[in-house]
A and B are shown apart, each in its own frame.
Chain A
Amino acid sequence: MTRAIAEAVRRYFQLKGYVEEPPPPQGPSLSFKGPSGRVAVYLIDEEALKARGEALRRLLRASSTDGYDLAYVAVSKPIATVVDASILHEVGVGMLIVDGQVLEATPAKRRMTLNLRGLEELRRQLSALEEKVRRLETGHETLAKPVDEELAFRVNRLEGEVAELRANLEDGLRRLLSSLTSILDKIASLESMLSEMRREHKPMVEATPLREEAPPSELPSFFKDNPWLRILSTRGRE
């Protein structure tokens, strides 16, 4: 069963132009690279249901997938009836229902991997600095001897540096997030334009004004020579 689901998922992504790559240890069941970036797929099969907590573990991993642009869970049709796609949708995880063929029941949302990684790194650095300060402060108290002026000076200086670094990091993080959002919006906009251009097989042209006699070619065919366009465009001005 597991193999059949995995094979169907492989075919599905290969047809979409993806290439399979070995998944990292403790990572997803299947990993692909292709037009929309890296895709992680977690199989929730009957094996996963048999092992206590394994299905839940895979779902949780899918929801916190890092290093991938898209994450999916792939389930057989009977299992699909007990998995609420709307909750997966809320955490950005897509759902593939495998029943011989693969049906994308819920699309996956693009994961902000850069953002998460960057955030994690910044958090780590900040914790390390806080730990240094804490050690210095503790050491300072436990010495139980008159405060050495030079030591006090160094601690003050370090505290100042930490505060400055914290401010810089927070500022940098805000700018990073803002840039990321803007970049993602631009990518989505470009993807949409590209797919429209592909569908129409023609270069983008400037919009021409509405004219009943010769509607622009990119409008659907039922616009062509439609006398209602003139009638309706004068509504409210008659």
Chain B
Amino acid sequence: MSEAYKRKYTFGEDYGTSDYKFGPITLGERPEVIENRGYFPDTSSIMYRLMGTAKEVVVGRDLALYLGSREELASRMVYPMRNGIVGKDDEKAWKVIYEITKYGLEMFRRSEAEFKGFYVCAALSAIAPRYMYEKIFDIHVRIAEETGLVKAVTIIPQPLAVAIAHKVPTCVVIESGHGNTQVCPISRYPIKTAMVVLNRGGSDADMLTSQILYDAGYGDLAKEEALVRKVKEELGLIPRNLDEAVRRAKSDPESFRARYRVPGTRIEIDLGKESWARFLIGEYVFNPKHEIFESYFKRGMPKPKDVKVGDVLFRGMLDLGEAVLEAVEKCPVELQPYLYGKILLSGGNFHWKAPQQYRELAVDSATKLKLLLSEKGIEGVSVDVAPEPKFSVWRGCIIYGYAVPEDYSWSWDRMEGWLRIHD
């Protein structure tokens, strides 16, 4: 009974830094996606009263209908997972996570008589502390009591889900999100003691892009977060060798000219003689230690710092090659060649264009990491960028939820198994 049941009622939940990906196994290849955020409307506003809403927090696709002014967004919009970790007492963030989780499950409410709730497999950042696991369990128990939509729940780290989705039992998964980057060796289980976490992610490259736009005379646009991210994706390049790329781009600016027309507007961004700076954006993700970035730090751009959150040390300036070496070298020597044998890059921060006309100077993420490792004497490494990285974690959750036996109870020692809510 259990397998036939799971074939229909396994449910995956990926709490990403920007998006929440969710849905049952029956969705097939792709989950539903909503932004991982909640809006707390001004309850004293006339609009709130007119709309007659009783909700303290609004999530999901209707959210845009409730938005107030731009100024209010900063204080009323909450992105609970922005940095992978949610504060234990951050009530607003937990309220958003509860609402988002319930929203997702309600969307797939089933009416069949046999339906007794979903087997839910949720994925959290690999650095999530134990209290986050406890809170996520509590949220599901509460939703199960209110709606009957959850039969059992389990939680796995996101890098493990990525390895599962890509069918690799032994590998290093590098998951780079908005706020941080996790380098996690996996050999059937995540090797948590070997994990290295970097205190930088997509948002740091956004900051650099913003500074580049400012320098190029687009100070007004440099404040628009979504636009800056788009410019980064459209114009940013990863240099094979930064010094060489900058030298060539400065000597022949027209060939490397970076221009971007914002769709649906009259705005065209043209970096002009500053176009060489497009190579800085990609380099910064992999190696912020290059001396060229010092001038940006001196002008006020925040330098990624080493910080300790709970038991986890987030490294600021380690380059990505060093981070991989440090993680792999914490594992048994016998295992190390297998780990170098498969490195998976996952997350939006690894998706960069490498246009054909610049192939001499610009490379993709996998090549860049191979070059960094080669500089440190590690050759013959296999690096892959996960295709459709946005959905990898959800897919891993679905497989995990489907395959792990239902009678395997949750163990806090092993951090796996099912927390059964009802039979």
Chain A residues within 8 Å of B, Cβ to Cβ: 80-87, 105, 185, 188-189, 192, 196, 207, 209-210, 216, 218-223, 225-229, 231-233, 235-237
Contact = CB atoms under 8 A, between A and B. Distances in A.
Contact of B403 (A85, A188, A229): A229
Contacts of A192: 110-112
Given A228-B400, A231-B169, A237-B408, 17 more contacts: A80-B65, A82-B47, A83-B51, A185-B112, A188-B112, A192-B112, A207-B3, A210-B403, A219-B7, A220-B25, A223-B402, A225-B167, A226-B167, A233-B404, A233-B405, A235-B405, A236-B405
Contacts of B61: 105
Nearest to A210: B3
A235 B165 contact: no
A202 to B, nearest CB: 14
Nearest to B394: A222
B52 A87 contact: yes
20 contacts: A82-B51, A83-B51, A84-B53, A86-B53, A86-B54, A185-B113, A209-B3, A210-B402, A219-B7, A219-B402, A221-B29, A222-B29, A222-B165, A228-B164, A228-B399, A232-B399, A232-B400, A232-B404, A235-B404, A237-B408
A189 B112 contact: yes
B392 to A, nearest CB: 9
Nearest to B30: A220
A84 B400 CA distance: 38
Interface of B: 3-4, 7, 25-26, 28-29, 47, 50-55, 61-62, 65, 110-113, 163-165, 167, 169, 188, 395, 398-400, 402-405, 407-409, 416-417
B395 A235 contact: no
Contacts of A87: 52
A207 B400 CA distance: 19
A215 to B, nearest CB: 10
B55 to A, nearest CB: 7
A212 to B, nearest CB: 9
B403 A86 contact: no
Among B51, B54, B400: residue with most chain A CB under 10 A: B51
Contacts of B408: 235-237
A220 B395 contact: yes
B405 A188 contact: no
A232 B50 CA distance: 52
Given A220-B29, A221-B29, A222-B165, A84 B51 contact: yes
Contacts of A84: 51-53
B62 A85 contact: yes
A61 to B, nearest CB: 18
A225 B166 CA distance: 11
Contact of A227 (B25, B167, B416): B167
Contacts of A223: 399, 402
Contacts of A185: 111-113
Contact of B28 (A80, A207, A210, A220): A220
